[in-house]
Amino acid sequence: MSYLSKSKFIKSFMLLVLIVTTVIPGVSSASSKELNEVLAYINQFDAFSKYSSKAVAAYNANLIYNTKNRKAMYDLYKKTIIPNYTIYVNGIKKIKPKNKELARIHKILIQYADTTLKGYIEIQGSISKPPGNTKAFNKGIATIEKGQDYLSRFNEELEKYVEKETLKYLSALPVIKTLPLDFNKDDISERLRPQVWRFYQAYVSAFPSGDTSRSDKLLKAWIASKNEGLNLRGPEQSIQNLNELTLSTINSNDKDELADWAKAVSETTINHVSVTYAEVGGGRAQFTFHLKVDSYTDDSTPLFQIVFYNTGEQYEISSISQI
């Protein structure tokens, strides 16, 4: 009777070289000191990440062992999996991020690598002699699975850090008040998204208290001017309309439910904001934004629409309104 045991497929460690631009589109590699540090950090893996990939690929291609292939699998761990993964582990330990937050996150990656290597060594030991030690083999699998938990945590922490620094960078950019006549709608949509996300955050700060000072301040800074002849209404009408919406929302909903919804909105990221563009009559360019909030229906959060009016020389904001 042959002994049969199966290990589980695991994910290889992969860092996206374009993580800054994939986490939040529209951010260049030269965006900020912190984001450039992330790119420099990621680039350091080029020299030895191939060793991790080779080890994990060999592991995933040989998930089942029995009395017939035990010796061959043992040799695979001895000659391929463990040597290659050891090079990888030693390599990442040489990386010393100067950025304190990256250094903290990097320690999680080291925990992943050390734990995974320990699991490989435990599996190798379990099949070193016939017919194999089932209990020790399963212990090795459990160790590797624990390593996967560290990997998931590392990916989550790194993504959160990139999002935080990207938001910080984008929030420091000048507010888009005007557009050139030949503007690119996709580029402007991406540049407007973080500003609209900030506006959503300011908007929900009024719930359930009714204090609209944050959104009022943003609208005054955002809407460029008032000129009835060019259909530029200025910030006052936008502020009045939004304040009326805020008051109506407060009067129509339970205060605790509003507070829960506002908290859910505050936990969103720029990636929750979607945008559609339309050219409308009267020489206007219209951008409509929606914020997707987890556990809430699409109509629970208002759409915000930014309308730019063609003055003949450029586009200027005519209004920012809820629809």
Last residue within a domain, chosen from 171, 206, 239: 171
DSSP 47-85: GTHHHHHHHHHHHHT--EEETTTHHHHHHHIIIIIHHHH
Residue 114 in this model has a pLDDT that exceeds 90? yes
| Closest by CA position to 26, among listed 194, 181, 158, 276 | 194
Q: Are residues 204 and 133 in the same domain?
A: no
Place of tokens 């993964």: 85
Over the range 181-207, which residues count as b (16 or more CB within 10 Å of their CB) and which as e? eebeeeebbbbbbbbbbbbbbbbbbbb
Predicted TM-score of the model (pTM): 0.64
Confidence tier at 18 by pLDDT (50, 70, 90): very low
- The pLDDT assigned to 25 comes to 42
Q: Are residues 258 and 227 in the same domain?
A: yes
183-220 tens-digit pLDDT: 999 999 988 988 898 889 888 888 888 899 888 888 88
Confidence tier at 286 by pLDDT (50, 70, 90): very high
The average pLDDT across 235-252 equals: 84
Q: Are residues 198 and 158 in the same domain?
A: no
Q: Are residues 104 and 165 in the same domain?
A: yes
Residue 87 in this model has a pLDDT that exceeds 70? yes
Q: Are residues 117 and 146 in the same domain?
A: yes
Q: Are residues 135 and 275 in the same domain?
A: no
Q: Are residues 224 and 87 in the same domain?
A: no
Q: Are residues 194 and 101 in the same domain?
A: no
Last residue within a domain, chosen from 108, 136, 171: 171
Domain that holds residue 287: 178-322
Rounded to whole angstroms, the Cα distance separating 230 from 18 reads 43
Confidence tier at 19 by pLDDT (50, 70, 90): very low
Place of tokens 């000129």: 227
| Closest by CA position to 311, among listed 224, 218, 221 | 224
The average pLDDT across 78-101 equals: 95
**Pairing of the two strands 273-280 and 284-291:** antiparallel
Q: Are residues 93 and 167 in the same domain?
A: yes
Provide the angle, in degrees to the nearest 10, between the axes of the packed helices 49-60 and 100-126: 40
Stretch among 150-154, 287-291, 317-321 having the lowest mean pLDDT: 317-321
Confidence tier at 14 by pLDDT (50, 70, 90): very low
- The pLDDT assigned to 188 comes to 92
Q: Are residues 191 and 159 in the same domain?
A: no
Last residue within a domain, chosen from 171, 198, 219: 171
How far from 226 is each of 59, 64, 111, 279, 306, CA to CA, in Å?
A: 67, 73, 58, 22, 15
Q: Are residues 290 and 272 in the same domain?
A: yes
Classify the C-alpha dihedral 212-217-222-227 as positive or negative. Answer: positive
Q: What's the chain's average pLDDT? A: 84
The average pLDDT across 124-134 equals: 91
- The pLDDT assigned to 16 comes to 37
- The pLDDT assigned to 106 comes to 96
Share of the chain above pLDDT 70, in %: 86
Residue 233 in this model has a pLDDT that exceeds 80? no
Q: Are residues 163 and 18 in the same domain?
A: yes
Total domain count for the chain? 2
